[in-house]
């Protein structure tokens, strides 16, 4: 038997319905905040991520899926969405002298050790804003995420952490001070941190190794190196978050793993999913557009990890059945042979007039008793039974029997199709 590739997974019947529901709720909130959806390709030139994300990052060094096309060009499955978003808007002339608020969704790919909540193919929903320099857009993005958690009922399971990296100059100064502090401790650091010391030392602050954590506890603080303008920006963000009544914590060790971040960085984290604590992460990346060939432009954004949000939703709503999301509302039966066409027409009629309901037509034959058992097994609320009417054209006066499968007091009665449709609509 051929199995799925390690780190890739299937969404099975029932699970897919929950994912669709959560994705739709998040998409509706993004629309309410006026973020326009765009679609990005799964494959980009490897150079895009090497330049945008950073050659010394874990993503580019050891996590990207790369391949060579027939022309010898190096391509990569996208490991994140921001660089591709900037590339798309810049390529199509949508950033010059303009502001943009956009969103995207879809799978990303990173070669990481699979764990619960962490997969090699994972799903993100992202929001990006271009052309806004002030802390107000940072606050809006955070408020957008907060609205998602409240809508999904998981706001009590996540905590907002924020920090400021300052300008690229202050970040470089801090990097130098951190190297000076950590170098005498190199042999005591964990293996990953020893490698990062030479390539991306700020990521050592994120280490989960207990010994490394003890060492960095006494490391210089990023905020002490942040320039005056960045401090004012960060203080302005905190003021706005307090006015919006969004709780937050300042985490001076929050740095994010991508080179393009400057000034504000933030994460929504949870303690409910073990080691996979980051649910949503983002911040400002004011230099990225210029790095990728455009004119200097302020920008900010975030990405939601949908895999982990779904897990949190299941924890928060443990009493809700995943399968119930996929329940059929109406099951169309036909007791006589030769009525399959009328049954299919009846189902089409109902779908037109009862949008949003799951309607299934019996397939595979069977007498009426077997069909009703199938209807009950798939969780249907109503059974619509097509009456024998040879040669009758489907219309509002077409006769059906309506049976409520969850309310015995309702029983079964004959109606015209128009009456049956109204009866089910009124009972919804």
Q: How confident is the model at residue 257 (pLDDT cuts 50, 70, 90)?
A: low
CB 261 within 8 A of CB 82: no
Beta strand 249-250 with 262-269 is: unpaired
Tokens for 132?
A: 């806004």
Kindly state the percentage of the chain with pLDDT values over 70.
96
DSSP readout, 180-203?
HHHGGGGGGS-HHHHHHHHH-GGG
Q: Which option is the CATH number for 15-167+226-316: 3.40.50.2300, 3.40.1710.10, 3.30.450.70, 3.30.930.10?
A: 3.30.930.10
Strands annotated E in 70-119: 74-77, 100-109
Q: What is the pTM of this model?
A: 0.85
* pLDDT at residue 198 greater than cutoff 90: no
Residue that has been written with the tokens 């806004």 in this structure: 132
Q: Residue 146: is its pLDDT beyond 60?
A: yes
Q: What is the pLDDT of residue 168?
A: 80
The candidate with the shortest Cα–Cα distance to 255, out of 197, 217, 200, is 200
What CATH architecture applies to the domain 327-427?
A: 3-Layer(aba) Sandwich (3.40)
In this predicted structure, what is the pLDDT of residue 170? 82
pLDDT of 325 over the 60 cut: no
pLDDT of 321 strictly over 50: no
- Give the sheet arrangement for strand 412-416, strand by strand: 359-361, 330-333, 382-386, 399-404, 412-416
Please state, in angstroms and rounded to a whole number, the distance separating the CA atoms of residues 311 and 273. 8
Domain spans of the chain, in order of start: 15-167+226-316, 327-427
Average pLDDT on 32-61 reads 89
> What's the mean pLDDT in 141-156?
97
Structure tokens that stand for 153 in this block:
């009922």
For 348, 349, 421, the CA distances from 352, given in Å and listed in that order, are: 6, 5, 11
């Amino acid at each position: 038997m051929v199995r799925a590739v390690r780190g890739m997974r299937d969404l099975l019947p029932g699970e897919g319905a929950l994912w669709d529901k959560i994705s739709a709720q998040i998409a509706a909130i993004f629309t309410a905040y006026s973020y326009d959806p765009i679609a990005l390709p799964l494959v980009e030139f490897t150079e895009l991520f090497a330049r945008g994300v950073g050659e010394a990052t874990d993503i580019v060094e050891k996590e990207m899926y790369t391949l060579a096309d027939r022309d010898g060009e190096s391509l990569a499955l996208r490991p994140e969405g921001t660089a591709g978003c900037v590339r798309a808007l810049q390529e199509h002339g949508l950033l010059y002298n303009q502001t943009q608020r956009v969103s995207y969704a879809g799978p990303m790919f990173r070669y990481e050790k699979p764990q619960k909540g962490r997969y090699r193919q994972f799903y993100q929903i992202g929001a990006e804003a271009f052309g806004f320099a002030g802390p107000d857009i940072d606050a809006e993005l955070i408020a957008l995420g907060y609205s998602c958690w409240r809508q999904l009922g998981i706001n009590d399971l996540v905590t907002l952490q924020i920090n400021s990296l300052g300008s690229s100059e202050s970040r470089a100064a801090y990097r130098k001070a951190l190297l000076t502090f950590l170098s005498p401790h190199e042999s005591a650091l964990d293996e990953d941190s020893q490698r990062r010391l030479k390539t991306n030392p700020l990521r050592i602050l994120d280490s989960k190794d207990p010994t490394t954590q003890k060492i960095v506890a006494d490391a210089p603080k990023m905020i002490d190196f942040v320039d005056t303008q960045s401090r004012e920006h960060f203080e302005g963000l905190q003021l706005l978050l307090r006015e919006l009544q969004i709780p937050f914590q300042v985490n001076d060790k929050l740095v994010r793993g991508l080179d393009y971040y400057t000034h504000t960085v933030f994460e929504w984290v949870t303690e409910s999913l073990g080691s996979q604590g980051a649910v949503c992460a983002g911040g400002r990346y004011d230099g990225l557009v210029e790095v990728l060939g455009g004119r200097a432009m302020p920008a900010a954004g975030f990405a939601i990890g949908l895999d982990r949000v779904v897990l949190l939703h299941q924890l928060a709503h443990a009493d809700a059945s995943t399968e119930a999301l996929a329940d059929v509302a109406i099951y169309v039966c036909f007791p006589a042979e030769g009525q399959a066409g009328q049954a299919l027409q009846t189902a089409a009629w109902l779908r037109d007039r009862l949008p949003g309901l799951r309607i299934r037509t019996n397939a595979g034959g069977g007498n009426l008793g077997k069909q009703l058992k199938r209807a009950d097994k798939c969780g249907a609320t109503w059974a619509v039974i097509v009456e024998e009417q040879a040669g009758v054209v489907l219309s509002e006066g077409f006769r059906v029997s309506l049976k409520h499968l969850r309310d015995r007091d309702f029983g079964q009665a004959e109606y015209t199709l128009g009456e049956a449709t109204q009866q089910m609509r009124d009972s919804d």
